[in-house]
Structure 1
Amino acid sequence: MSHRTISVAVLSGWLLTSAVVPVWAEPAAQTTTARKVRVTGVVRDDSNNISLPGIPVEVAGGETVYTDVDGRYVLDLAPGSHELRVTMDGYEARFIKVEVAAGSRAIDANVGLQMSRFAETVTVTADVAVNSVTSSAESQIAERKNAAVITDNLGSQEMKKNADSDAAAAMSRVTGLSVVDNQYVLVRGLGERYSNTTLAGSTLPTTEPDKKVVPLDLFPAGLLDSVQVIKSYSPDRSAEFAGGLVQIVPLKFPSRPVVDFSYGLNVQSNATGKSIPMSSLGNRDWLGFDDGARAAGGYSEQQDRAPRHLHPRGRLRP
């Protein structure tokens, strides 16, 4: 065989191989793609037959798809047995089995969900912050912001910052209030009969025989956690007010003994720096106490006839 004949044979074999390989490779790729079968369905509510959008449809050990606005889902599954799990809050979970045969057409697998049966008794639990600080300015602002009624409040930290001695002095700093005689609080300029006062949620009686208003100077600021003024009605409070309701919140009961001291200094302009006439009886009258000179049987008119004077330097002179 000549050299030319061998070259033609090799070239012919190469062309035949190049033409045959793609013919056999293309069916193999088509077979791999044709293995999966499309499974579609609609998820509905069994009670009213309404389609449910956004429902997760999960294939056991596989992917998860969600229903569209019409409640329809689409899955591409390999031949075999598959389990679909459909869940939604408020409905009972549903499990369905789908048998996918090789070479089959699209399979319809509609799902109906039933609403869950709620128990007759519902138990609600919550955590209570026992040691939370409610007297700070930040807590009072948050409480005022979240209140469902028109309200204004003041915490004990603000009272200490302003050096308020009692509740009446603290209330003078609240918007819309006026304090009369340093003890009576009037809301919105209305009279005393249009206001009410509570302590720890209980209505307080007044100590005044001819007035309804409660004197707030009876409550030291050191015993208060906060003072709140309600200016509108609400279902959880008494409606025995037209101007406003003053709510006094006391401090929590202390876990250990507490001792508190206070002092005050007053000046009498009619007596300070002046000579004061005094009785000749008793050497402790300037303290406001009797030394026993006025006891029964010890009084003498002669002793009381010589008046004495208390001079600014504290000396007794006849």
Structure 2
Amino acid sequence: MRVLVIGRNGQVVRALAERAGTHASAHQFAFIARPQLDLAAPEAIPGALAGQTFDILVNAAAFTAVDAAEEQEELARTVNAVAPGVLAAEAARRGAPIIHLSTDYVFDGSGDRPWREDDPVAPLNVYGTTKLEGEDAVRRHAPAHHLILRTAWVYSPFGSNFLKTMLRLAADRDELRVVADQIGNPTSAYDIADAILAIIDCWSQGADHASTGLGRTYHVAGTGEASWCDFARAIFAQSARLGGPSASVVGIPSEAYVTKARRPGNSRLDCHRFAADFSWQAPAWGVSLQRVLQRLMAPMTRLEA
């Protein structure tokens, strides 16, 4: 399979590039991003894809700065909603499926159970709203050629994320105050990459599997749940065992940590549908956390900006 991935520097893209390099398959991966292809300029996407050959298109790029999206709504909508529709239309025109990444933020965070794919959506902020609009655009432009993959609380050795923020702050502080009443699934970008590879492997097995999951939405996230406070404590416990920075953590309510964008209190995702259709499930989130920390701290001087 020839797989074209939109994005180059994002957490999932970089994890996918690593995994693809060691994956025991004949899949060929190519990556395209700015300046060759800019999701902020959707009108130029068809031209950017004109010289590309692919059997599967993966859109792993997005405007992910949740608070900044409140002030840059037009840009967030262009990147997260308009551009995915154009990508989906281009994929469908070629008869190629598109795997499009989305988010738990399409839900309002109510309730006390993990969200299922068919639960009502009601985003609380601009980021969630534009990502939902992107889902709708993908469904509309490629009704029989899409697979939407929602995930949550992504972290990795790359870029900016909660894990790296905690380690950076712990280098200078003995105690940190972390929100304790938002619950979700900490998810390694490597696990999302492995889920994407599971989809591609399935589709490459022949006609009987080529349409598995097409036209459907799935949830993929780390197995098990935690609050941000729980996640921070686990980070520091494992970091300390590896000789890295650590700090004590005090749990606080959401209202004590004011942000521009409202966050959902319940971000848990039910991932049973994906496991049933693709025979793959993410490891327990603590196991994946340990693997990422080992990758990040070997040695600590390899921490990436």
Compute the TM-score of the two structures, normalised by the length of structure 1: 0.20
Structure with a larger share of its residues in strand:
1
Between structure 1 and structure 2, the one with the greater Rg is: 1
Larger RCO of the pair (alpha carbons < 8 Å, separation 6+)? 2
Structure with a larger share of its residues in helix:
2
